[in-house]
Structure formats: structure tokens, C-alpha cells
Amino acid sequence: MAGYWRSKYDWRKNEKSLNIFPQLTTTIDALELMIAFASLIVAVIMVTQKK
């Protein structure tokens, strides 16, 4: 599943609809975390390793 998100999911195609949600980014132990708040209950977290 991670391979799909890393190499096949078209982020640019879906970027506009994802950006309607409040979000923040932070770095912890060289990992960049992007958190998008879709509701009070659900938060979507994307983790990428800094290069």
C-alpha cells in the first residue's frame, strides 16, 4: 500500500481538493510530517524522510 502512495498516487491531480483542509507541517527526527485535518475526528498524516 505504501508503494502506491509513494509512486502511483497523483498528488498534483488531487492537490486542490486536499488543500481545502487546514494543515500543518513539522519535522521530527529527520521525518517531515504533513497533517491535514479533515474533521475533528480524522487527521490525515503524511510522513516523508528529509533528504
Q: What is the pLDDT of residues 1-50, one digit of tens each?
A: 788 888 888 888 888 887 887 788 888 888 888 777 766 555 566 666 66
Q: What percent of the chain is helix, strand and coil (3-state, nearest 5)? A: 30, 40, 30
In the numeric block, the cell 475533528 is attached to 40
Residue 16 burial (C-beta neighbours within 10 Å; 0-12, 13-18, 19+): exposed
- Decide: pTM greater than 0.75: no
pLDDT of residue 17: 80
pLDDT of residue 48: 62
pLDDT of residue 47: 63
Contact assessment for residue 33 and residue 26, using Cβ atoms and an 8 Å cutoff: yes
CA-nearest of 10, 13, 34, 20 to 44 is 34
